[in-house]
Structure 1
């Protein structure tokens, strides 16, 4: 009897270890698959640079780029540039999402608000990011408010569009069911409209963050003395291709890390969805 109970306990322990290992492999699998193509491209890039296919004064090898980033990290300049760029992205993102949530919810829920506000928002959406730069400099100078406002403009439109689309895409039959059960307007929004539009809203937030990283380059053209965008322009002015590409690589890394963070939050927020996953 004791042997049987011991074997059962042992099997349970083995089962738990197996489950943990499966969970770890499941978490590592996206990282492994996502790293294959970048690693292949970096190896090919390094090889072609070594044999002279890519001129060093135009496209330095990856090892030179990494050395430049490490050098900036060791002398401390990298962290100052990263810090100020993340500061601008954070506040511009929060500001843009805040306005988009309020205005998108109003336009999506009220037909008259859509007729009144949506045409002008669609017109503003077509304005290129650089076209806002002289106007914001005129209004707010070259300080942080103009840079944050420009990033907020970039974040606003994709979030706004997805919120409006998500709310207007809610199945009318579900809303009718809520009205049959005498739901108030607040209950309809809380129990039906918000959960149904949440997936579209979260996609909009990720798209907005991506545009925020694009707009930060234009923002840091406005008299900035720090930031990754400033490094990019400084590398151009000093004809330093390794600094230009290092800045682009930093944008790519930081953009991917912040998007992965939002993607993780999206997965937790939508854990209730029975979504299709293709193997």
Structure 2
């Protein structure tokens, strides 16, 4: 008999076993390439339990059988287990580097933000582009993608809490955001001109085909590769590099290091790389 996982002495609402957790890990890896640590069993329960309530399913075993047979529910499954932590101009040195790169390479045509989450990162990229070129309509395509369809909806709407932009300069707040009124009091919205600079599309990095046209001059793929094993990291990084312009710039997250792939990229700054051609 399989032991039931218990995060606390309190009886759980739904039957949830170690075997169920292992099935979740295997399914998430096969669908999204994400490796869940063994310590994430309680997180898995709390996030997927919401789906069991919605669907009126009494056990994780039954739910996982349902997921395997239902493509629409698979999307909810992936959305529930995808962590989205972001902020405007998070890791600000990357945007300083982006500004410097754009000034040195004014003919940049394509930028890809490969993990857009709720939009703060691609909009920060767009703000940097607009500031460098003094225009909301430079001849640069900004593509923002994410595996999570729910966060893409939030990103397209471009509505955020006022506190989320408190750290931005007064100039940025006035130039790139509308202040909410009435039912939107306490909220801000991305200026229409800035929203039009970014195209949001769903994309699973494990998919055999990507909706990305090359050559791509700049790729932001931050704090995503840490969820993949080394073999998957190398596979995805290799695919990205083949899409990049020879003098392109790849921006990784603060916890990511790709010096073990010298045949693919070479360092050009703090967690910033250039493709090896």
Larger relative contact order, structure 1 or 2 (CA cutoff 8 Å, min sep 6): 1
Per the shorter chain, which TM-score range? under 0.3
Structure in which a larger fraction of residues adopt helix? 1
TM-score, with structure 2 as normaliser: 0.23
For the pair shown, which has the larger CA radius of gyration, 1 or 2? 1
TM-score, with structure 1 as normaliser: 0.22
Structure in which a larger fraction of residues adopt strand? 2
